[in-house]
Amino acid sequence: MAATGGVRRIDRPVRRRQDQRGIVIVYFAMTLIVLMIASAFVVDVGGWYYRAQKIQAAADAAAMAGVSYMPDFGQASATAQAVATANGFQDGVNGIAVTPTKVSDNQLRVDITDPQMKQYFSKAFYNGTSATRHGVAEYLAGLQLGSPENGFGMGDLYGQTYGNFWAAVDGYCNPREQGDLIMSHSDGEWLNGLTWDCSASTTDTYASSYDPNGYNYQVEVPSGHPQFDVEVYDPAFVPFWFDPFNKRLTCPNGAPTIDPQIPPPLPAINHYSVTTVFTVTKPDGTSVTKTYASNERGGFPQTQHGASNWCRQWDTLMTIQPGDPSGTYAVNVKTVSDGLNDSFGSNAFALETVTTNGAGVPNHLYRCSTITTDLNYSATCPQMHGSTAMSVLANADKFNGDLWLAKIDSVYVNRTLTINMWDPGEGGQQVQILDNQGNAMAYNWAANPCTGLSPCSGSVGSSGLSVSGTNQPQPGINRYGDGKFNDRMVTITLTIPPTYTQAYAAVNNGWWKLSYNLTGSNKINDRSTWQVSVSGSPIHLLNQ
């Protein structure tokens, strides 16, 4: 029998494909869950990153706002908290923590923590996260100018060798070419080569420099201080000359006057009226003001010397009691802006802060320094110094007149130091800039206005800039002086070298000097205004 054959159907593979369709659904569901979780984290992590950026920005803003009040940490902390709140981070609200910390007297750190950053989709899978960011800011206050000691502009008092200049301030009508950049209202007043006339003033390059608020000096009063007196020497204007027939060169006590000689004003009434105002303000804002009027009239028989009682005499501006706050006391000095045609004159004076005896009498022989290697060093020295500008009568009577210029800390390394000297040079030969170790620095210079001067810019080496020369062209009409830089601003710039390390700057506590080389001359009598600054923002963030 013949065998029969056929094709057998096998259905198992079909059943397997049907089974695999179920598995794919499971895999897809599992993958979808993973994608949903990943998507949730993508959204939330992006939100956390954005939140962390906001926390960082708020911490930086709070640190920069608060640090300007250092070393008053209480005020700095309150300011930082307020700024953080304004940026959406209030301490103690929703668990937010804002923590200011004092790093140093001029550095503030602010930490902001959000313990539970907002979640959008990841709550079902994750308990959330926290974030902490911090900002550290530094405040570089204006440079200390003119003195590391407890006296400023001490001239020739007590045989001191460090001074070599008096502090000074000019009357409203005194022409700017006489050396006061800020208090002199105008310029070009030497009329017909005969006398001064305020109404003859001409427009000049630096007319906008006049500031009726005058000059600001500072006293650094340490914590735990004893009683101090803030004193002024020769506070009133007592000129060399006020009578065309009888020059008065001495005070009633026989000592030579220190206020510069001046010619008579016009009209020819031989009358001077320069009123000087001193205001001392405590860190808490309370203040004391004293006014010294000078009513000088020459010409027989009306000769008067109305302020002579203050000639070469001390007076107390403020007594700082042991319970008074420590910190920076401000001393403002200005002359009255009366606009009268007789407010000519330059009032030279000195400032000091001294201890007192048991009866409250000031000890004028008390001398101290903030320079640690100085014989008079004291950790509690009430240092007096200039701030943004200082107006001086440089009167060195020796071959070299070295004057304290500014305290330069190592934080200023690689920055540009700028020194503005208004109307410099009378009696001097070269001006050198000496670093804190006495090394003469090379620098660039430029004079303004340049009219009639050639060259009016350049570079000099360690020998300094020559400021000598008379019978020079002047920048405008009705000028009295004929010096090389009379009625001009000389701007000196130099880069603080990379070798100016913390160890290098520690010598003499970083105090630089300005040196008048008097070779070929035996005396300098330079009435000038100096401003010193360093490039860069005074408030900045640190990478810490």
Instruction: Look at residues 478, 433, 485 and name the one whose alpha carbon lies nearest to residue 454.
Output: 485
195 or 530, which is more confident? Answer: 530
Between residues 386 and 165, which one has the greater pLDDT?
386
Residue 468 burial (10 A CB sphere; 0-12, 13-18, 19+): middle
148 CB neighbour count, 10 Å cutoff = 22
Q: Provide mean pLDDT across the span 342-353.
A: 89
Band of the pLDDT at 76, cuts 50, 70, 90?
A: very high
At residue 419, the pLDDT reads: 97
| Structure confidence by residue, pLDDT tens digits, 126-156 | 666 778 999 999 988 789 999 999 999 988 7
Termini Cα distance of the chain: 102
pTM over 0.85: no
DSSP string, 216-265: EEEEEEPTT---EEEEEES-S---S---TTS---B-TTSPBP-SPP-PPB
Q: Give the three-state DSSP class for 5.
A: coil
Residue 238, classified by CB atoms within 10 Å of its CB into exposed (0-12), middle (13-18) or buried (19+), is buried
- The DSSP element (H or E) to which 55 belongs, if any, is helix 12-67
Spatial distance between the Cα atoms of 69 and 510, rounded to a whole number of angstroms: 23
pLDDT of residue 254 exceeding 60, the answer is yes
Name the least confident of 1-5, 118-122, 340-344. 1-5
CA angle 220, 76, 152 (to 5 degrees): 15
The string of pLDDT tens digits covering residues 4-14 is 555 555 555 55
How far, in Å, CA of 221 to CA of 225, rounded?
7
The answer to whether 350 and 233 have CB atoms below 8 angstroms apart is yes
Closest CA to 532 of 393, 406, 385, 383: 406
> H or E segment at 112?
strand 107-114
Q: Omega before 325 cis (within 30°)?
A: no
Split at pLDDT 50, 70, 90, the class of 309 is confident
Residue 293's pLDDT is what?
87
The predicted model gives 335-355 an average pLDDT of 85
Pick the residue with more confidence: 404 or 198?
A: 404
Whether pLDDT at 42 is above 70: no
What mean pLDDT is reported for the chain? 83
Mean pLDDT, range 177-197, rounded to an integer: 86
- How many residues are present in the chain? 544
Beta carbons of 169 and 180 less than 8 angstroms apart: yes
Give the model confidence (pLDDT) of 426-446 as tens digits: 766 789 999 999 999 999 999
Give per-residue pLDDT as tens, 260-307: 766 666 555 566 778 999 999 999 999 999 999 886 665 544 555 556
Q: Which residues does 156 contact at the CB level (< 8 Å), separation at least 6? A: 163, 395, 397
pLDDT per residue as tens digits for the range 95-114: 999 999 999 888 999 999 98
Give the other-Cβ count within 10 Å of 19's Cβ.
9
pLDDT at 541 over 80: yes
pLDDT value of position 1: 46
Tokens representing residue 145 in the block:
């100018």
DSSP for 363-387, please give it.
-TT---BS-TTSTTB-TT--EEEES
Mean pLDDT for the stretch of residues 39-64: 78
CA distance 480 to 261: 13
Strands 304-305, 295-297: parallel, antiparallel or unpaired by DSSP? antiparallel
CA distance 434 to 526: 19
Round to whole Å and give the CA distance between 492 and 233: 31
Burial string for 164-180 (b: 16+ CB within 10 Å, else e) reads: bbbbbbbbbbbbbbbbb
Pairing of strands 327-335, 215-221: antiparallel
* pLDDT for the residue 244: 47
Mean pLDDT of 472-490: 89
pLDDT of residue 381: 96
Task: Give dist(CA 357, CA 172) in Å, integer.
Answer: 39
Q: How far is CA 90 from CA 6, 62, 247, in A?
A: 88, 12, 71
**Rounded Cα gap, residues 374 and 218, in angstroms:** 21
Q: Give yes or no for residue 192 having a pLDDT over 50.
A: yes
What SS3 state is found at 188?
Answer: coil
pLDDT of residue 399: 46
